[in-house]
Amino acid sequence: MRTLLTTIVAGLCAAASAVSVADTGDTAIAALVVKETPRVVAWRRDFHAHPELSNHEVRTSGIVAEHLRRLGLKVQTGVAKTGVVAVLEGGRPGPTIALRADMDALPVVEQTDVPFRSTVTTTYRGETVGVMHACGHDAHTAMLMGVAEILAGLRAELPGKVLFIFQPAEEGPPEGEEGGAPLMLKEGVFATDKPEVVFGLHMWATKPVGEIGYRPGAFMAGSDGFRLVVTGRQTHGARPWMGVDPIVASAQIITALQTVVSRQIDLTQNPAIVTVGTVRGGVRGNIIPDTVEMLGTIRTFDPEQRKDILARVERTVSHVAASSGASAKFELTGRPNPVTWNDPALTKRALPTLARVAGAGKLKEIGLQTPSEDFSFFAREVPSLFFFVGVAKPGVPMASVAENHSPLFYIDESALPVGVRALTQLTVDYLTGKM
C-alpha cells in the first residue's frame, strides 16, 4: 500500500518533470521539495533519536552548522549558547527576510513505537529524565535545513538575503540561565542583517496532516512561569495536629487557583489558563513535611487581564495557605513570553501563497491558541507570520490524537514536504515581489 508521503512525492515529481531548476515558479519549487524530502526525513529521524534539552543542543547545532557551511552560507555558531545563524546572499539586490526553526527537546520519556524513538536520558532539575522531541522541533530543524538547501540552489535568481535562525531553548532555558529568542536578540541576531519580515511554523498534532492553520493578529498566548513554596511545620504523619500540613494546604491552593479563571475572569473577552504542572514535597508516607514546591504556568492574551490574573493568583495562594496555618511564597520564574502576534497586513499578503501550497480546502483560519511561543520576541522586532502545519495521521479521530508535549506525540512525515514548501515558497514570493 502506498503511503500518503509516497503519493505526494510521486504526484509532485510527475507535475514537475519538465521544469527548469532556474524557474522559481510553484511547479519547480514543488519538484525541488520532492528531491529534498528524503534528506529532510532522514535528518528529522536522526534528530528525533538524539534529542537534546534547552541550551544543550550541541550535537544538533553541529550538524546544522556543517550543512549550512557546505552550502556556502555565512555561518555563525554559538549564538545564545548553541544557536546557529546563517546568511544566504542572493544574486541580485533585494530585501532581507528571516526564517526560524527551534532545536530543543523536552524532558519526556517517549512511548511511541517508531523505530527511531528516543532512548536518551539526562538529568533535569536533579532528577533522571527521558528526553524526547515531543513538540516537533526535530521536524522544524530538518525542514529549515531542507529549505536552506533549496534556496542555496536558487541563489543566482533570488534578490536579497535570507537569514536562517536555528534557535535553542524555545522551551525555556534551565533555571538561572538565559536563552532562546530573547538572548539571540540580545546578542544581535538582527543587528547586521535586520530582516523586513520573519516567518516561522510549528507542527501541530491536532490538525489533519498537511493542513495549514493561521490567524491574523493575536495567535498564541503569552505565558508566565511561576513557583510556589508552601511552608508548614513538619511532624509525624500519625499526629498531624502537632504540625501544619503543607500538602493539604497545597491541594487546597491547586483547587482554588482554578476558580481564578472559572469564576473571577470574564472569559468572553479572552481565554486564560492557570496550570500547576509539578508538585514536589515529602520523602515518606508517615512524615508530614515542612514544605511543598509547585511549578506552573499562566496563559493570557491581554496585558491588563494578565496583570489582574497575576494579582488574583498571588492573593489566592496567600490567603488559602493562611487559612491552614501555613504560609506561601509566589514568584514568577524565567522569562515571560509575549503574545505571538501575526502582522495582519503580512498575513493577508501571504495567504495566496499558503493556499497554493496547502491545496484546496486545506488552508484554515483558526481560533486563539493557548500554548505560547518565544517566536513572539522576533515578532516584536519586525512584522511576522507564524502558522501551524497539521501532522495528525489520516484516519485517526482528533479526539484520540496525542497532543504536543505528550509522550505519544507523533508526526506523520507526509507533513514534512508541506512545511518545506511553505517556507520556501513564502521566501521566493516575498523576495521576488509576488506577495
DSSP-based three-state secondary structure for 163? strand
3-class secondary-structure state, position 333: strand
CA-to-CA distance for 336 and 376, rounded, in angstroms?
11
Of the candidates 142, 165, 149, 160, the one whose C-alpha atom is nearest the C-alpha of residue 71 is 149
Q: Judge contact between 166 and 180, C-beta under 8 A.
A: no
Q: How far apart are CA 17 and CA 125, in angstroms?
A: 53
For residue 341, what is the enclosing H or E element?
A: strand 340-342
What the block records as the C-alpha cell of 233 is: 511545620
Provide the phi-psi class of 393: left if phi over 0, else alpha when psi is between -120 and 50, else beta: beta
Spatial separation of the C-alpha atoms in residues 384 and 163, rounded to whole Å:
14
- Name the strand (E) or helix (H) holding 227: strand 222-231
- CB–CB of 328/229 below 8 Å? yes
Q: Give the side-chain half-sphere CA count within 13 A for 335.
A: 22
Beta strands in 345-410, from DSSP E residues, in sequence order? 363-365, 384-392
- How far apart CA 36 and CA 112 sit, in angstroms, is 26
**Residues known to be catalytic:** 104, 170
